[in-house]
Amino acid sequence: MTQRARLVTPQGKKIELSPEIYRQVRRLITNSARPRSRARTTQAIATTYGKYAGGRSLTQALLAERAAERAREDKKLGRFRA
């Protein structure tokens, strides 16, 4: 006789799982809990490092956009200050 797996919800409800569903859930939990290796992280950083070098500075573009937005807000609020 095979014992069926039971899933207990946070509310305390018990749900019986078929062996196939149990294997699928276990596979999902195992795959999602696997930490990323240091070598893969280092490789990802090395691959993308300098990707945007020499092009338009994204930081400068963001600062210019924020300055323009601030100027629009000041202009809009200026009519209420007078």
Range 65-74 burial, b when 16+ CB lie within 10 A, else e: eeeeeeeeee
- DSSP three-state, residue 64: helix
When pLDDT is cut at 50, 70 and 90, the band that residue 1 belongs to is low
| Mean pLDDT of all residues belonging to the chain | 83
**AA identity, residue 72:** R
- In this prediction, residues 36-55 reach a mean pLDDT of 80
pLDDT at 62: 92
Residue 34 has pLDDT above 80, yes or no: no
Question: Contact, 34 vs 43, CB < 8 A?
Answer: no
What are 6's strand-pairing partners?
A: 16
Q: Which residues, at least 6 apart from 43, have a Cβ–Cβ distance to it below 8 Å?
A: none
Residue 36 has pLDDT above 70, yes or no: no
- In this prediction, residues 44-63 reach a mean pLDDT of 83
What are 14's strand-pairing partners?
A: 8
pLDDT at 23: 87
Question: Contact, 32 vs 39, CB < 8 A?
Answer: no
